[in-house]
Amino acid sequence: MTPTTLTPTIALGRPSRRNLLGIEELSRAAIEQLLERSRHYKTRRNQLDPKLSETLLGKTIVNLFFESSTRTRTSFEIAAKRLGAHTVSIQAQGSSLSKGESLVDTLNTLAAMQPDTIVMRHAASGAPHFLSRFLSTPIVNAGDGRHEHPTQALLDAMTILEQRGTLENLRIAIIGDIAHSRVARSNIHLLSKFGTDLVLCGPATMVPASLATLAPGITITHDMRRAVAAADVVMMLRVQLERQTTPIFPKNEYFQFYGLEVDHLRLAKPNALVMHPGPINRGRELSNEVADSRSSVILNQVENGLFVRMAVLERACAEDSQ
């Protein structure tokens, strides 16, 4: 009797040290290094530098998106191409198990073709973390469920840094459905490592008390005016109707209590920044006036996403030094 033959024999790969799975486990120094490289790429954006397109020459990067995405996928693709890498983008439909194949087997099949990096997005929290235990190919997390979206936090940090010159001693309000937001989690981890004062705001169904334990420096309020008071940055989150299986708020009154309007900005610091990970939902999360105001740095965020992803792909594809 050999019952073990029925157990899948998955070769446990050595998890790559070049993974970017989340911000939580990154050191402040590693974040600063990535931001530094991002800035480096940004300063060269208008120069015809042939070396730039040789950085990842001959490398193959697979973009594996189990959840639809236009901007993040495009941003990763352009970043890879600017650095000279080959890219293959795969839009996977639904769970791989529906085709009778496990997620590990799907990834193992791809890994057998020896890409240099796999960029993946998945609707389930922890999917890339789970896979990283079985694969030695570096994985870059392009968003996992409600857990982390590390490149979004890096591009947000880069944008704040450009506008404010520092990430330290700032008061940053994050407003919206934080419990279900991977953008918020990654931002909270990143900003907390720089000693930022974080004010989280939304109804208690979106901002439960247990969020306060996520990182040091967090305060929680359910009052929008209190949240934006004296803020240097107001980060609005997208209201993710598609991520809620059961409604956690009456959607018609959301804007009335948690939408950002020009009046709110008068309570914030002068020249406070308004940020949003996009796509924005005018009249749901912020008013037209705010979206189009000079405070809004939403398009700067999108632009910086490209440079951050160049830096992240460069790190993922780097040869191991030992």
Partner 1 sequence: MSTLIIRGGRVLDPAGGFDAVADVWIENGRIAAVGENLEREGAAVLDATGKIVAPGFIDLRARLREPGLEHAETIESGSRAAAAGGFTTICCLPNTTPYNDSATVTSFIVDRAVNRAAVRVLPIGGLTKDGAGEQLAEIGAMKEAGVAAVSDGDSSVMDAALMKRALRYAASFDLTVLEHCEDANLGGGDIHDGSKSMLLGLTGDPVSAETVILARDVILCREASARIHFAHLSSAAAVALVRQAKADGAAVTADAGAAYLDLTVEDVVPFDSNYKVRPPFRETSDREALIEALADGTLDAIVSDHAPHTGNVKMQELESCPPGITGLETAVSIAIERLLHSKRVSLPRFVELFTSGPARVLRRDDIGSLTIGGPGDITVLDLEREWTFDAETSLSKSKNSPFLGRVFRGGPAATVVGGRMVWRADSGLEA
* Gap between the Cα atoms of 283 and 241, Å rounded: 14
Indicate the residue among 10 and 230 with the shorter CB distance to partner 1.
Answer: 10
Phi, psi (5° rounding) for residue 148?
A: -140, 155
Scanning 5-13, 36-44, 228-236, 298-306 for contacts with partner 1 by CB under 8 A, the matching segment is 5-13
Indicate the residue among 38 and 108 with the shorter CB distance to partner 1.
Answer: 108
Indicate the residue among 7 and 321 with the shorter CB distance to partner 1.
Answer: 7
Name the helix (H) or strand (E) containing 1.
none
Q: Which of 50, 100, 165, 279 binds partner 1 (CB under 8 A)?
A: 100
> Taking Cα atoms as reference points, which of 301, 306, 304, 305 lies closest to residue 82?
306
Q: How far is the CB of 84 from partner 1 (least distance, A)?
A: 32
Amino acid type, 320:
D
Q: Which of 67, 77, 116, 148 binds partner 1 (CB under 8 A)?
A: 148
Q: How far is the CB of 8 from partner 1 (least distance, A)?
A: 6
Active-site residue flag, 71: yes
Q: How far is the CB of 116 from partner 1 (least distance, A)?
A: 24
Of 18, 59, 121, 171, the active-site residue reads: 121
Distance of CA 136 to the CA centre of its chain: 22
* Gap between the Cα atoms of 61 and 72, Å rounded: 15
From residue 228, alpha-carbon distances to 115, 173, 252 in Å are: 45, 6, 22
129 binds partner 1 (CB under 8 A): yes
101 binds partner 1 (CB under 8 A): yes
Residue 64 exposed, middle or buried by CB count within 10 Å (0-12, 13-18, 19+): buried
Active-site residue flag, 149: yes
124 binds partner 1 (CB under 8 A): yes
Active-site residue flag, 121: yes
Q: Which of 144, 232, 285, 314 binds partner 1 (CB under 8 A)?
A: 144
Of 73, 146, 147, 149, the active-site residue reads: 149
- In the numeric block, the tokens 């949003």 are attached to 276
Residues numbered 164-203 forming contacts with partner 1, rule: CB under 8 A: 179-180, 182, 185
From residue 95, alpha-carbon distances to 87, 122, 136 in Å are: 23, 10, 22
* Gap between the Cα atoms of 273 and 279, Å rounded: 17
Q: Residue ranges of the alpha helices (H) in the chain? A: 28-43, 71-82, 103-112, 127-132, 150-164, 182-193, 224-228, 254-258, 262-267, 288-292, 298-317
* Gap between the Cα atoms of 55 and 67, Å rounded: 29
Q: Which of 122, 171, 193, 309 binds partner 1 (CB under 8 A)?
A: 122
Indicate the residue among 144 and 232 with the shorter CB distance to partner 1.
Answer: 144
Indicate the residue among 134 and 267 with the shorter CB distance to partner 1.
Answer: 134
Of 17, 28, 40, 71, the active-site residue reads: 71
Which residues contact partner 1 by CB under 8 A?
1, 3-4, 6-8, 10, 24, 95, 97, 100-105, 122, 124-127, 129-130, 144-148, 179-180, 182, 185, 208, 210-211, 213-214
Which residues participate in catalysis according to the annotation? 71-72, 99, 121, 149
